[in-house]
């Protein structure tokens, strides 16, 4: 007897069931991050206070992923839209969701200044070390030697500089009395859930949170499951997975 | 709720930038996002100085990109928010302005034009006319009021908020460095006393009601998958835009009824033209002015009528024909000859216009 | 005259805009139509500072005029700069104790004053600009002395109250400035 068809998918309340099939590529990390985020929002019961903004690039495909009020913006501009919302309507739990290109290249000035001012929002950078939607170009976080469309012979750090370390950067400038800064990975979603929980709690209390999530892009990496996992492990060696800044008393 | 400072008619002697800040308060604007750039700085300065009394909000952002986008955030949160910029700031704010166009966000921005291209001067120009009307990678679904002095700045700043929120097209008040920095008397008033009620500003994000119980979640986007999906949306916008145009178009005619030489000018240059018209009339030359107040959309029918009546037309601007280009397209088919007096990034004086019109009349007589 | 067009130019720090502000404030308080444009550039300090003022009985049209009725130049660079605003109907006033050159543009009349020298010798260098205000008041003759005193109270009242002798000093400078121009309403 087959019974599995009766089992409903495990959707968080903050996830939009009506959105239908995932728009992300098979094996993509975005779904894992977003699902974990949705679950955390449910757990903290922030559904009515949350506003979710997504960027350009693959993150834009999340425009109707959440069963929350959402806004899709321009490349790199999600951070100012969301702090524009939280400034105007305090009490909103603003979430700005973007990739490494939007966060660290075209939107870097917003990343830096929002962190410096410690604006009241959660910035999530899904770091998959390349520009996925535009076809796999080098991004600020592309790892040394990594092949991309614009570094077909591998990233030469002598020419293109070293990979950008977002969490370290943000932790060095954010207000320690207001901020939570961490790097997590899709290799451990339970840990990611814990990180999101702290990050969202801090934002709900008026603080600034930044979470970089190491993610995967099998399509542009041209990796199979095993290769993807190996690449993620290499990334975790390059980008330290830990909490960088935790406001005192935040649990 | 913000506190309104002007409760009765008050005659004041202010700079234009100060007037704009007072007007925004009179319009019950709740939040300003901004970034320093000359010659609009005193809008922010005045707004900030008044904050303890108005209980409004302000954020100084990291650049005009973020000023534009955070203004959008504030508007989506249901606040009557606005920004102001100029010159190179106006250029980089196009990113946010085009998003406002696509998403029909009631974006309000005061533009205090300065010289261009590039950094040019911090003083004055009319060189952001085309940019403000048609900037961004779109079709110019925008409303642009061009002002000609402090009473205009007050009236049209208030009006910009209502136009934007009523029709949901980004609305600009296009002024310039002269208007921003100069001082002249102005009458400030409570819009209520003029029968003006402010349009409501409902929140798009976090609207009342529980998601999934009272309402569905709101998903705002500016990206479409298919070309046809986009065109269908834009065709609807065009219908809305055309319908709105008839209600919003404004113009001013000064002694244009019997004018043989019709001067077409906008903004502060139109004021110089009025001085010139009086001087020319005193010399026996029948000059008149047609001033489009909305330069986007242009008041096409009245402009065509005025041009048709005249024997000659003079376009004059502190730019190299940015308005003229927009007008000429709409005047297609008419045969009234025209000349131009363009001073790029420099003020046009009454004397300039008088001299030009005199030669035009002379040449006409010689033909 | 229904409209008086004034160009006031000098070096940054000579108080050109302060003088212009008191003048236009006085005109406003006296119920005149006023239009004042401070010329401003990218330099915060060190450039030639120019004030364009119009005082009229009726609504003013053009914000920037081509030629001034009264031109006051307080430095060599200001003299050079003001040539473009001078016509044969302009009266040009310059401070011969500051300037080493003389205005050469064709005009109705050139008046030399020695406000800087007299201020330094007889009063204080600080009231040089107020002396110029006196010159302007007499030369234009569209505002009354009381209007100017009233505007000075608005601008400097707090300082005057703290140091009443400053009020006397400024009034004196104003009167001495007025005395430097022989003809009323040139």
Q: Cα separation of C157 and C152, whole Å?
A: 7
Q: Cα separation of B52 and B50, whole Å?
A: 6
Nearest CB to B99; choose among A60, A74, A85:
A74
Give A-chain residues touching B203 at CB under 8 angstroms. Answer: 89
What is the 3-class SS of B201-228, one letter each residue? CCCCCCCCCCECCCECCCEECCCCCCHH
Give B-chain residues touching A73 at CB under 8 angstroms. Answer: 69, 72, 99, 222
Q: Cα separation of A157 and A165, whole Å?
A: 14
B156 in the same domain as B18: yes
Residue A14 lies in a domain: no
Helices (H), chain A: 30-44, 78-88, 100-104, 108-117, 157-160, 166-173, 189-204, 218-221, 225-238
Radius of gyration of chain A from its Cα atoms, rounded to whole angstroms:
17
Closest by Cα among A42, A87, C26 to B58 = A87
- Which structural domain, as residue segments, surrounds residue B331? 252-366
Residue-wise pLDDT tens digits, B339-366: 999 999 999 999 999 999 999 999 988 8
Closest by Cα among A36, A210, A94, A65 to B205 = A94
Give B-chain residues touching C60 at CB under 8 angstroms. Answer: 184
Give the start-end residues of each E strand in C98-165: 109-113
For A179, the enclosing helix (H) or strand (E) is strand A179-185
Residue B331 lies in a domain: yes
Contact exists between B and C (3 or more beta carbon pairs < 8 Å): yes
Q: Cα separation of B25 and B17, whole Å?
A: 13
B263 in the same domain as B186: no
Residue A102 lies in a domain: yes
Q: Tens digit of pLDDT per residue, chain A (251 long)? A: 666 667 777 899 999 999 888 889 999 999 999 999 999 999 999 999 999 999 999 999 999 999 999 999 999 999 999 999 999 999 999 999 999 999 999 999 999 999 999 999 999 999 999 999 999 999 999 999 999 999 999 999 999 999 999 999 999 999 999 999 999 999 999 999 999 999 999 999 999 999 999 999 999 999 999 999 999 999 999 999 999 999 999 98
Residue A179 lies in a domain: yes
B267 in the same domain as B339: yes
State the complex-level ipTM: 0.94
- Which structural domain, as residue segments, surrounds residue A125? 24-246
pLDDT on residue A251: 87
Please answer yes or no on whether B122 and C65 come within 8 Å at the CB atom.
no
Q: Decide which of B147, B175, B194 is a domain's last residue.
A: B194
Q: Decide which of B194, B210, B242 is a domain's last residue.
A: B194
Give A-chain residues touching B81 at CB under 8 angstroms. Answer: 84, 88
CA C114 remoteness from chain centre: 14
Q: Cα separation of B210 and B196, whole Å?
A: 33
User: What is the token pair recorded at A191?
Assistant: 């840990």
Domain count, chain A: 1
Instruction: Return phi, psi of residue A233, to 5°.
Output: -65, -40
Give A-chain residues touching B74 at CB under 8 angstroms. Answer: 84-85, 87-88
Instruction: Return phi, psi of residue B341, to 5°.
Output: -135, 95
Closest by Cα among B245, B246, B286, B240 to B263 = B286
Residue A18 lies in a domain: no
Given 3-state DSSP classes, what are the helix, strand and coil percentages for chain C, each rounded to the nearest 5?
Answer: 45, 20, 35
B166 in the same domain as B281: no
B52 in the same domain as B184: yes
Chain B residues within 8 Å of chain C (Cβ atoms): 13, 38-39, 121-123, 149, 178-179, 181-185, 268, 271-272, 274-276, 278, 347, 349-352
**Mode of pairing for the β-strands spanning B10-15 and A208-214:** unpaired
Please answer yes or no on whether C62 and B272 come within 8 Å at the CB atom.
yes
Contact exists between B and A (3 or more beta carbon pairs < 8 Å): yes
List CB contacts of B34: < 8 A, sequence separation 6 or more: B40, B43, B44, B47, B58, B59, B60, B61, B67, B83, B84, B85
Distance from CA of A79 to the nearest CA of B (A): 8
B343 in the same domain as B276: yes
pLDDT on residue C44: 60
Do residues A144 and A232 make contact, with C-beta atoms less than 8 angstroms apart? no
With 80 as the cut, is the pLDDT of residue B252 above it?
yes
Q: Cα separation of C52 and C84, whole Å?
A: 13
Q: Decide which of B153, B179, B194 is a domain's last residue.
A: B194
Residue-wise pLDDT tens digits, B280-303: 999 999 999 999 999 999 999 999
Do residues B116 and B87 make contact, with C-beta atoms less than 8 angstroms apart? yes
The DSSP 8-state label assigned to residue B198 in this structure reads: P
B148 in the same domain as B49: yes
Please answer yes or no on whether C64 and B352 come within 8 Å at the CB atom.
no
B274 in the same domain as B169: no
Query: pTM above the 0.90 mark?
Result: yes
Closest by Cα among A80, A60, A81 to A72 = A60
Contact exists between C and A (3 or more beta carbon pairs < 8 Å): no
Q: How confident is chain C (186 residues) per 10-residue block, as mean pLDDT?
A: 89 91 95 90 74 95 93 96 95 95 94 94 93 94 94 92 93 95 72
Give A-chain residues touching B204 at CB under 8 angstroms. Answer: 69, 71
* Dmax (CA) of chain B: 79
Give B-chain residues touching C39 at CB under 8 angstroms. Answer: 123
Residue B244 lies in a domain: no
**Could you count the other beta carbons within 10 Å of the beta carbon of residue B241?**
20
**Could you count the other beta carbons within 10 Å of the beta carbon of residue B33?**
31
CATH code of residue A240? 3.40.50.970
Nearest CB to B223; choose among A60, A84, A85:
A60
B146 in the same domain as B76: yes
Please answer yes or no on whether B13 and C38 come within 8 Å at the CB atom.
no
Instruction: Return phi, psi of residue A74, to 5°.
Output: -100, 170
Residue-wise pLDDT tens digits, B297-355: 999 999 999 999 999 999 999 999 999 999 999 999 999 999 999 999 999 999 999 99
pLDDT on residue C42: 64
Q: Which residue in chain B has the smallest CA separation from A77?
A: B69
Helices (H), B14-93: 16-26, 41-54, 64-76, 87-92
Q: Which domains does chain C have, with CATH numbers?
A: 3-179 (3.40.920.10)
The DSSP 8-state label assigned to residue A66 in this structure reads: B
State the residue for tokens 């990218």: C42
CATH code of residue B311? 3.40.50.920
Give the start-end residues of each E strand in chain B: 10-15, 31-34, 57-60, 81-85, 108-113, 143-146, 171-176, 183-188, 219-220, 251-254, 261-264, 287-292, 294-296, 312-317, 338-342
Mutation target vs B (from C19, C26, C62, C88; most B CBs, 10 A cutoff): C62
Question: SS3 for C48?
Answer: strand
Please answer yes or no on whether C41 and B185 come within 8 Å at the CB atom.
no
Domain count, chain B: 2
HSE at residue C163, side-chain half, CA atoms within 13 A, is 6
Q: Hey, what long-range contacts does C119-124 have (CB within 8 A, 24 or more apart)?
A: C119/C173, C122/C176, C123/C169, C123/C172, C123/C173, C123/C176, C124/C169
Mutation target vs B (from C63, C65, C68; most B CBs, 10 A cutoff): C63
B52 in the same domain as B134: yes
């Amino acid at each position: 007897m087959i019974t599995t068809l009766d089992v409903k998918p495990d959707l968080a309340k903050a996830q939009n069931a009506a959105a239908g099939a995932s728009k992300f590529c098979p094996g993509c990390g975005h779904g894992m991050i977003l699902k974990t985020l949705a679950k955390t929002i449910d757990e903290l019961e922030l559904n009515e206070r949350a506003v979710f903004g997504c960027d350009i690039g693959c993150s834009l495909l999340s425009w109707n992923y959440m069963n929350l009020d959402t806004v899709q913006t321009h490349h790199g501009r999600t951070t100012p839209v969301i702090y524009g919302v939280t400034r105007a309507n305090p009490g909103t739990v603003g979430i700005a969701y973007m990739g490494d290109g939007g966060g660290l290249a075209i939107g870097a000035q917003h990343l830096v200044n929002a962190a410096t001012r410690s604006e009241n929002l959660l910035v999530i950078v899904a770091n998959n070390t390349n520009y996925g939607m535009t076809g796999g170009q080098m991004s600020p976080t592309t790892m040394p030697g990594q092949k991309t469309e614009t570094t077909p012979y591998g990233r030469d750090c002598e020419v293109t500089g070293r990979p950008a370390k977002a969490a370290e950067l943000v932790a060095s400038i954010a207000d320690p009395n207001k901020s939570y800064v961490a790097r997590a990975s899709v290799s451990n979603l339970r840990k990611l859930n814990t990180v999101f929980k702290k990050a969202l709690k801090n934002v709900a209390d008026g603080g600034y949170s930044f979470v970089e999530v190491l993610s995967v892009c099998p399509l542009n990496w041209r990796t199979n499951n095993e290769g993807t996992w190996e690449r993620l492990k290499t990334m975790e060696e390059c980008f330290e997975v830990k909490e960088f800044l935790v406001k005192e008393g935040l649990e | 709720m913000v506190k309104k400072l002007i409760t009765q008619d008050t005659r004041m002697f202010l700079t234009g930038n100060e007037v704009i800040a007072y007007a925004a308060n009179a319009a019950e604007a709740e939040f300003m996002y901004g970034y320093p750039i000359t010659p609009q700085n005193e809008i922010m300065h005045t707004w900030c100085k008044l904050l303890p009394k108005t209980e409004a909000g302000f954020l100084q952002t990291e650049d005009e990109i973020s000023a534009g986008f955070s203004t959008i955030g504030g508007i989506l949160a249901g606040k009557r928010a606005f920004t102001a910029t100029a010159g190179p700031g106006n250029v980089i704010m196009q990113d946010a302005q085009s998003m406002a166009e696509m998403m029909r966000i009631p974006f309000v921005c005061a533009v205090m034009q300065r010289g261009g291209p590039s950094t040019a001067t911090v003083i004055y120009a009319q060189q952001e006319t085309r940019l403000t009307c048609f900037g961004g990678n779109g079709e110019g679904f925008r409303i642009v009021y061009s002002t000609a002095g402090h009473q205009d700045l007050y009236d049209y700043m208030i009006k910009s908020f209502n136009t934007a929120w009523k029709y949901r097209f980004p609305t600009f008040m296009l002024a310039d460095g002269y208007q921003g920095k100069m001082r002249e008397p102005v009458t400030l008033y409570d819009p209520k006393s003029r029968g003006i009620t402010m349009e409501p500003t409902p929140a798009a994000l976090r609207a009342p009601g529980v998601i999934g119980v009272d309402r569905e979640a709101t998903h705002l986007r500016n990206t479409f998958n298919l070309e046809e999906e986009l065109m269908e949306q834009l065709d609807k916008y065009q219908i809305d835009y055309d319908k709105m145009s008839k209600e919003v178009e404004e113009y001013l005619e000064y002694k244009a009824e019997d004018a043989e030489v019709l001067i077409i000018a906008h903004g502060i240059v139109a004021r110089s033209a009025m001085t010139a018209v009086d001087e020319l009339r005193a010399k026996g030359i029948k000059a008149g002015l047609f001033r489009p107040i909305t330069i986007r959309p242009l008041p096409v029918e009245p402009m065509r009528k005025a041009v048709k009546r005249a024997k000659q037309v003079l376009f004059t601007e502190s730019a190299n024909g940015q308005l003229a280009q927009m007008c000429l397209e709409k005047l297609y088919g008419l045969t009234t000859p025209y000349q131009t007096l363009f001073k790029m990034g420099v003020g046009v004086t009454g004397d300039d216009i008088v001299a030009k019109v005199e030669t035009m009349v002379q040449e006409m007589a010689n033909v | 005259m229904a409209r008086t067009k004034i160009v006031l130019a000098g070096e940054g720090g000579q108080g050109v805009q302060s003088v212009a502000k008191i003048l236009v404030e006085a005109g406003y308080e006296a119920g005149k139509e006023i239009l004042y444009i401070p010329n401003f550039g990218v330099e915060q300090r060190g450039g030639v500072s120019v004030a364009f003022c119009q005082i009229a009985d009726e609504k003013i049209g053009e914000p920037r005029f081509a030629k001034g009725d009264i031109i006051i130049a307080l430095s060599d660079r200001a003299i050079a700069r003001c040539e473009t605003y001078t016509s044969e109907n302009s009266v040009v006033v310059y401070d011969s104790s500051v300037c080493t050159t003389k205005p050469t543009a064709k005009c109705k009349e050139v008046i030399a004053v020695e406000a800087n020298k007299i201020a330094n010798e007889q009063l204080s260098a600080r009231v040089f600009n107020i002396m110029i205000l006196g010159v302007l008041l007499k030369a234009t003759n569209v505002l009354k002395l009381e209007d100017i005193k009233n505007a000075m109270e608005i601008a400097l009242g707090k300082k005057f109250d703290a140091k009443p002798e400053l009020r006397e000093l400024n009034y004196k400078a104003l009167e001495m400035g007025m005395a430097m121009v022989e003809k009323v309403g040139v």
